[in-house]
Amino acid sequence: MATNRDTRMLMIVDSEPAQQRFLSALASRGGWRSVIAADTDTALARLGTQDGMALDAVIVDQGAPGIPIPEFVAELRRWRPALPLVVITMRNGVEMAVAAMRAGASDFVQKPIAPDRLLEALDRVTGSGGPQGELRPLTEKLRAPLGFEEIIGSSPNFRTALAIAAKAARARIPVMINGKPGAGKEVFARAIHSASPRSRGALVMVDCSAVSPGLIGSGLFGHERGAFPGAFDRQIGRLVQADGGSIIIDHIECIPLETQARLVEFLSTGEVQMIGGSIRQNVDVRIISTSASPLDKLIEAGHFREDLYYALTTAQLTLPSLSERRGDIGPLTRHLLTRISGLPGMGQIGITDDALRLLVSYAWPGNVRQLQDVLFRAAVESKTDVLTAADFSAIEAALGGGTANNDGEIAINGEAIGVTLYLPDGNLRPLEEIEADVIRLAIGHYRGRMSEVARRLGIGRSTLYRKLGELGIDTAA
Ligand SMILES: Nc1ncnc2c1ncn2[C@@H]1O[C@H](COP(=O)(O)OP(=O)(O)OP(=O)(O)O)[C@@H](O)[C@H]1O
């Protein structure tokens, strides 16, 4: 319910002065004017005032004193049913988030707050975050590290990425993970660390998209006191903190050129020198970086150093977008629903085949994160324990209706679905069928060159021809 006034009005409910200042500065960057309430009782009391009547949205910190958050949300809903409300929860405050959403909150954002994500959440809940009906990814909800065995995906392009990652994990070499937002880059990066010989060492993460460019260098390398205006204390860098372990440099494409030069030097010498310091320290760290933009374009434009690119990409993999591995949407949906069911306050949640078909047909611009967020929201809002197509009305609207053809097969803009391991009811397909699909896929992939197909599948040509007969595979296909 964005208004047509020029400045939108936000109430920040938080008792910490530093946090109040931070939120208020952030809000003003997004074009908001803010009023502060130090506790939830005061916030409710102010609803009836002139300022309160002019509010366009409220953000409340989970730790705000006064009446507990779920009661605050419910009470606010009683007075102002349509007033958008975002709850800020602790990093692992999933239980609180579920309770707040159930009581009627519009969204929640976990700490530490990434400025862009909070502004996005505010835009979204006030309806100014893009075309109506567009589904924008919510913030991270289910951040649990996954090992390779828990990463869901059996499409050939995804399996290729998994194989490269699993192999690279064993060595100390730098790995670069490319992929669109929400495709699973961080999940892969964590899995690489967990599967590596240094898994017992520290895992340190730096998200360069959430830090202002001017602070990325001092975050990575540390700084001496007084090294630059605002450097009030000496600070140890994240590279040193990761000594003996791994560092994930998320969104490396956001690193400014000056810091890129420092990284190149570190990669060639293995030594870290603090900003403003003279001592060099040897650091043994494995770098796993991720990028959501094609780095070759940035190199061409002079925004990314070619030598750094080569130093970071000893192993490199690209994660396919979810729309490029539609066969995985069903299994992923079931997996994510199982994880959501396990959250505090949630019960067992199922999904109908119709709803699943709908999800498979959608393009998922926000990839796995968006799928996860859409499922989470549907699960929280559903009145029953089985999600139906009606629980995904925004997806249905975005698709303009109609997802399945008459014989119930999923029609996806004529694209072939990769080899899927699951039936729509969640059970595994018979081995013969999977085997037949793999052979068909290999024949297509190697353009009918049967010797190559046999070699790649690791079987003899005569075995391949026997299987073609047994499985009834038409090689002209
Ligand atoms: N293959 C997968 N199996 C299960 N869950 C996944 C998978 N891929 C991603 N997820 C879930 O989707 C969410 C987004 O993944 P992740 O943070 O790794 O994406 P990303 O590519 O790093 O996104 P961004 O570029 O926006 O940082 C995570 O919460 C993760 O739990």
Q: What is the DSSP string of 276-323?
A: T---EEE---EEEEEESS-HHHHHHTTSS-HHHHHHH-SEEEEPPPGG
Q: Which of 139, 368, 370 to mutate to test the pocket of ligand 1 (most atoms within 8 A of CB)?
A: 368
pLDDT of residue 105: 84
Percent of the chain with pLDDT over 70: 87
If one compares 340 and 351, the residue with the highest pLDDT of the two is 351
Nearest CA to ligand 1 atom 9: 184
Out of 15-24, 28-37, 212-221, 340-349, least confident range: 340-349
The highest-confidence range among 47-56, 131-140, 291-300, 395-404, by mean pLDDT, is: 291-300
As a whole number, mean pLDDT of residues 286-299 equals 93
pLDDT of residue 140: 37
Q: Structure tokens of 473?
A: 């595979």
As a whole number, mean pLDDT of residues 260-266 equals 96
Instruction: Please give the domain boundaries of the chain with CATH numbers for all domains.
Output: 8-125 (3.40.50.2300), 156-318 (3.40.50.300), 431-470 (1.10.10)
Is residue 365 in contact with ligand 1, taking CB distance under 6 Å?
Answer: no
Residues 6+ away with beta carbon under 8 Å from 212: none
Q: Which of 187, 190, 337 to mutate to test the pocket of ligand 1 (most atoms within 8 A of CB)?
A: 187
Report DSSP letters for 2-64, one per residue: --SSSSEEEEEE-S-HHHHHHHHHHHHHTTEEEEEESSHHHHHHHTTSHHHHT-SEEEEETT-
Ligand 1 center to 250 CA (angstroms): 12
Is residue 375 in contact with ligand 1, taking CB distance under 6 Å?
Answer: no
Q: How many of the other CB atoms lie within 10 Å of CB of 189?
A: 25
pLDDT of residue 290: 96
Is residue 183 in contact with ligand 1, taking CB distance under 6 Å?
Answer: yes
Q: How much is the pTM? A: 0.63
Are 251 and 292 in contact by the 8 Å Cβ rule? The answer is yes
Is residue 329 in contact with ligand 1, taking CB distance under 6 Å?
Answer: no
Task: Examine the pLDDT at 133 and tell me if it is beyond 60.
Answer: no
Is residue 320 in contact with ligand 1, taking CB distance under 6 Å?
Answer: no
Q: How many of the other CB atoms lie within 10 Å of CB of 198?
A: 18
Residue found under tokens 């991270």? 140
Nearest partner of 246 among 286, 215, 280, judged by Cα: 286
Residues 6+ away with beta carbon under 8 Å from 115: 26, 29, 210
Ligand 1 center to 319 CA (angstroms): 11
Nearest partner of 373 among 160, 140, 25, judged by Cα: 140
Dihedral sign computed on CA atoms, order 97, 363, 383, 47: positive
Task: Examine the pLDDT at 113 and tell me if it is beyond 90.
Answer: no
If one compares 348 and 410, the residue with the highest pLDDT of the two is 348
Which residue(s) pair with 58 in the sheet? 11, 85
- Each residue's pLDDT tens digit, 149-202: 778 888 888 989 999 999 999 989 999 999 998 899 999 999 999 999 999 899
Which residue(s) pair with 177 in the sheet? 290, 317
Residue found under tokens 């004017």? 33
Percent of the chain with pLDDT over 90: 40
Task: Examine the pLDDT at 298 and tell me if it is beyond 60.
Answer: yes
Task: Examine the pLDDT at 358 and tell me if it is beyond 60.
Answer: yes
As a whole number, mean pLDDT of residues 361-370 equals 90
pLDDT of residue 474: 67
Task: Examine the pLDDT at 288 and tell me if it is beyond 50.
Answer: yes
C-alpha distances out from residue 295 to 135, 176, 302, 399, 430, Å: 27, 11, 10, 32, 42
Is residue 378 in contact with ligand 1, taking CB distance under 6 Å?
Answer: no
Cα–Cα distance measured from residue 199 to residue 451, given in angstroms and rounded to the nearest whole number: 41
If one compares 181 and 111, the residue with the highest pLDDT of the two is 181
Ligand 1 center to 143 CA (angstroms): 9
Do you find a cis peptide bond into 331, omega within 30 degrees of 0? Answer: no
Q: Is 274 helix (H, G, I), strand (E, B) or coil?
A: coil
pLDDT of residue 173: 94
Per-residue pLDDT band for 342 (boundaries 50, 70, 90) equals confident
Q: What's the mean per-residue pLDDT of the chain?
A: 83
Q: How many of the other CB atoms lie within 10 Å of CB of 404?
A: 15
Atom of ligand 1 nearest to the CA of 190: 18
- Each residue's pLDDT tens digit, 1-55: 344 446 789 999 999 998 899 899 888 888 899 999 999 999 998 887 877 888 9
Helix (H) or strand (E) holding 235: strand 235-236
pLDDT of residue 234: 83
Ligand 1 center to 186 CA (angstroms): 6
Is residue 184 in contact with ligand 1, taking CB distance under 6 Å?
Answer: yes
pLDDT of residue 303: 93
Is residue 395 in contact with ligand 1, taking CB distance under 6 Å?
Answer: no
pLDDT of residue 261: 96
pLDDT of residue 329: 94
| Predicted-complex ipTM score | 0.97
pLDDT of residue 92: 67
Ligand 1 center to 61 CA (angstroms): 25
Nearest CA to ligand 1 atom 26: 181
Nearest partner of 347 among 371, 374, 373, 382, judged by Cα: 382
Q: How many of the other CB atoms lie within 10 Å of CB of 263?
A: 24
Is residue 245 in contact with ligand 1, taking CB distance under 6 Å?
Answer: no
pLDDT of residue 220: 94
- Each residue's pLDDT tens digit, 300-316: 999 999 999 999 999 99
The highest-confidence range among 265-269, 293-297, 421-425, 434-438, by mean pLDDT, is: 265-269
pLDDT of residue 367: 92
pLDDT of residue 469: 82
Rounded to 10 degrees, the C-alpha dihedral 94/95/97/102 comes to 140
Cα–Cα distance measured from residue 448 to residue 464, given in angstroms and rounded to the nearest whole number: 12
As a whole number, mean pLDDT of residues 426-451 equals 77
Nearest CA to ligand 1 atom 17: 186
Is residue 292 in contact with ligand 1, taking CB distance under 6 Å?
Answer: yes
- Each residue's pLDDT tens digit, 367-424: 998 898 889 888 888 888 899 999 998 888 877 654 433 333 333 333 334 566 666 5
In single-letter form, the type of residue at position 426 comes to G
Are 171 and 286 in contact by the 8 Å Cβ rule? The answer is no
Task: Examine the pLDDT at 67 and tell me if it is beyond 50.
Answer: yes
